[in-house]
Structures are given as C-alpha cells and as structure tokens.
C-alpha cells in the first residue's frame, strides 16, 4: 500500500528565489558599473569611423566585432545601454510620480471625482502605447527628452490603477477610521496614512516600468522616431544592423539585442524578489 507523505518544498523554493535574486543583483551591478565606468576609462571615440575595419567578426581586438562603418560594437553597445537606461530611469520616475498622484487623488476623494478620473484613464488606456508615443514624439525634434516625455506620458496609467486600488484598500483599515474619527482632515489622512501605504507598490511599479520604457525607447528609435540616427542607442543599433543581418553578419544584431534582453531579465528578477517580500506566500505540497 502506497504511503502518503507530506514534504515541504519551502526550503527549495527559498533557495531558488535566493539564487535568482542574487544573480539578478550581480547582473544589475555589472550593468551599472559598465555604463558608469567604461566611457570614462576607455579613451576611445565610439563615433570613430574606420572603413578598413568594417564588419569584422568578434575577436580579441573587438570582442563584439565592428559595425558597417568600422566602429567598435562593444563600445557602441555600452553607450547605447547608457542612453536606454537613462530614458528608462527618468521616464519610470516621472510616470510613477504622475500615476501615484492621480491614483491617490482618485482613491482618496472617491465619488464622482474617482469615476471621472478612472474613465479618463480607461479612455487613454484604450489607445495603444506605441501609437500614442509616436504621436507625442512626432511633435518634437529627435532627441532624448522627447522620448522620455513620450514614454512617461504613456506609462503612468497602470501605476494610477495600482495606487488607486491600494488606496481604496487602505481606506477600509481601522487606523484610517480612527484617524477620521479623531478629526483628521481628508488631506491629512491622505498625506500621513494613504500615500505612505502605497509607496512600496508604487516603487515596485517603477522598477518594473524601467525595462518596459527601455523597450519602448528602442521601438521608437528602431522606427526612426526616437533618438537621432548618429546617436548610439540600442534601438538605433538594431535598426542599423538590419542590412548586415540579411547579408549574413549576425553580430551587429545579436549583441545589441542581448544588451536589451539581459537588463530586462535582471531588473525583472529583482522586481520579482521585491514582490515576494511584499506578498510572502508559504506553500507545501502533498507527494504520493
């Protein structure tokens, strides 16, 4: 007769989560060191053209090879990642502040104000982000800050929804009822109790928004609507390498793509560890 045994896998899961979090942390630290230290330490011009060395495969002299005009691809990828991270960080910060303010105001005021604000959020959410971003970027000259504005104005909607839901949850807590019963104004309750309570969720939303903003910037640059073509960004590098890929030269496309995918996975891993700390779960499995 088969014996029924209970076996907890909590330790195995904790070990897996720890490894994933540590790996993501190491990758994020390496990425930060690369974008901060490589440009000042490597005294090379990433725009330097050498037609005699164009489309060289990866080697010791050029670990990532060269592009179609002989520029070192490793240096170009580092500069491109630097620009994409700048766009992602600033856009995520602006979008989080805007979304937190709108969501907290809607949840705290309630009534017709909440309904009106959320209908506006729903209407804007029905428009594809990329289409709305293209419309915004088209009103400015190509550059970093138009892309930041475009990404920020199209990515605050999800944060507003998250913050509003959290505020509505906090409004039903006993400590909020006690503050209201003690004579605290709505403004004081919002500033002292509701907004601090939603900051962890807003921070998590900001971290998750960084890779999203990087991909959005890359898509705009790939379409020729983001950064100027001469400026290194991951989207521009992939867009420039399309012709080389058709000719059989894989490295000008592969390495910029990896520089976009690896930071995304690393930041997502850190965000996942953060989410598990905010919402801890303990599970056990029954094994027959």
The whole-number pLDDT of residue 1 equals: 47
Residues 6+ apart with CB under 8 A from 114: 106, 107, 164
The whole-number pLDDT of residue 285 equals: 34
The whole-number pLDDT of residue 9 equals: 53
CA-based nearest residue to 100, from 199, 171, 213:
199
CA-based nearest residue to 150, from 159, 138, 139, 137:
137
The whole-number pLDDT of residue 116 equals: 92
What is the distance between the alpha carbons of residues 118 and 102, in angstroms, rounded to a whole number? Answer: 9
The whole-number pLDDT of residue 93 equals: 92
What global pTM score does this model have?
Answer: 0.79
Average pLDDT by consecutive 10-residue portion of the chain (288 residues)?
A: 50 68 84 80 68 82 82 86 88 91 87 88 85 84 84 88 87 78 76 82 86 85 79 83 78 86 85 71 36
The whole-number pLDDT of residue 98 equals: 92
């Amino acid at each position: 007769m088969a014996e029924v045994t209970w076996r907890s896998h909590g330790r195995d899961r904790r070990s897996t989560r720890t490894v994933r979090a540590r790996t993501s942390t190491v990758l994020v630290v390496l990425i930060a060191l690369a974008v901060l230290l490589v440009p000042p330490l490597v005294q090379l011009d990433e725009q330097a053209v050498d037609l005699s060395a164009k489309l060289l495969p990866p080697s010791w002299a050029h670990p990532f090879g060269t592009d179609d005009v002989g520029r070192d691809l490793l240096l170009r990828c580092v500069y491109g990642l630097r620009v994409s991270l700048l766009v992602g960080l600033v856009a995520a910060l602006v979008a989080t502040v805007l979304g937190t303010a709108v969501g907290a105001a809607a949840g705290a005021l309630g009534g017709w104000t909440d309904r009106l604000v959320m209908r506006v959020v729903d209407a804007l959410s029905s428009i594809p982000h990329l289409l709305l971003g293209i419309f915004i970027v088209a009103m400015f000259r190509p550059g970093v800050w138009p892309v930041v504005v475009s990404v920020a104005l199209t990515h605050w909607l999800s944060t507003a929804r998250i913050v509003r839901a959290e505020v509505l949850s906090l409004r039903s807590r006993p400590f909020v009822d006690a503050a209201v019963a003690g004579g605290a104004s709505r403004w004081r309750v919002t500033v002292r109790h509701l907004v601090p309570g939603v900051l962890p969720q807003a921070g998590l939303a900001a971290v998750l928004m960084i890779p999203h903003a990087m991909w959005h910037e890359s898509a705009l640059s790939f379409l020729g609507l983001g950064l100027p073509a001469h400026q290194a960004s991951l989207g521009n590098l992939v867009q420039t390498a399309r012709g080389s890929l058709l000719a059989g030269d894989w490295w000008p496309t592969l390495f910029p793509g990896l520089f976009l995918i690896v930071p995304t996975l690393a930041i997502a891993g850190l965000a996942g560890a953060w989410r598990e700390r905010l919402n801890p779960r303990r599970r056990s499995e029954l094994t027959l």
